[in-house]
Amino acid sequence: MSSLITSPFGYRTTAREAAAGHDLSGRRMIVTGAASGIGVETARALALQGAEVTIAARDLGKAQAVGDSINREAGASRVRIGKLDLADLGSVRSFVSTWMGPLHVLVNNAGVMASPLMHTAQNFEMQIGANHLGHFALTTGLAGALEAGAKDGRPARVVSLSSIGHRRSDIRWDDPHFRKGDYEKWTSYGQSKTANALFAVGLTARWRDRGVLANAVMPGGIITPLQRHLSKEEQIGFGWIDENGVPNPAMKTPEQGAATSVWAAIGPELEGVGGKYLENCAEAAPWKAEEPWSGVMPHALDPGSADRLWDWSEKEIAGA
């Protein structure tokens, strides 16, 4: 196996540290779901280095508060807000229709985790619907803008937020929307995170010649609103928090959790690189049973599965 891509950064690197020293003036970026959690710190780190960042989120009030805070810190109006509900393809298409000009970086950060059985506006199961199909529709809808962003000779970048949760399930090709009645929230989450990783593989294979590349990111364990569907007892059982709600010291802060997304967006080590699964600001090694909370499983990088997923996704959104 060829040597893995590394960087000067690691587990405790913050988003600002990963962005430091970069002049992002003139670079236009979108971060989905940046009204809370690690998306806030991703947007902040990029904007403070000069990027024009659009926060694409459902809650415009929260997003505007984040944008105002970042703009005050930057001393300039660098953050804009756009309405985007990834669980409604109508909203996705509306957002795409308002985008004008080139796009240099798209960070597909938003997500839902371990929700009860829910469905999107188009009757997709919520986790694969919002986490994957919504972002698939967004990215393919912005293909022209990304291609335009690559015309300066540097590839445009797409960052697809995955998770170690991908180890819980490959794509359930026979029933991805759990219509047979066997819904299990963690299997659903795992499938969606596998899809996020495969999307980076598939996009890179299809769009490399257009100057657009994608990598998947495992941000690490962080306590954010992503846990909204989990009880306190569940989180204690996983060892994420103690009885008083205090996070396990091994967990990352949101600032640390955003670092790999920022590195994927602008890191020089990844110039011209796509189809990788990244964690802790480095390319992940293969998953091992003795280290179950890190690494990447083969099913999340399989080119054949990535191609199959792309075809399936095109058909799903075309018919909705």
Helix H segments across the chain?
Answer: 15-19, 37-48, 60-74, 89-98, 126, 135-141, 143-149, 185-207, 232-237, 254-257, 259-266, 303-318
Amino acid at 198: L
Euclidean distance between CA atoms 37 and 285, whole angstroms: 26
Catalytic-residue membership of 189: yes
Residues sharing a CB contact under 8 Å with residue 300, sequence separation 6 or more, in sequence order: 162, 166, 193, 194, 197, 198, 216, 277
Question: Considering 11, 183, 189, 277, which one is annotated as catalytic?
Answer: 189
Euclidean distance between CA atoms 244 and 189, whole angstroms: 27
Strand order in the sheet with 156-161: 79-83, 52-57, 28-32, 105-108, 156-161, 212-218, 277-279, 282-283
Pairing of strands 105-108, 79-83: unpaired
In contact, 176 and 124? CB cutoff 8 Å: no
- Tell me how crowded residue 149 is: count the other CB atoms within 10 A of its CB: 24
Amino acid at 45: A
Q: Which residues are known to be catalytic?
A: 189
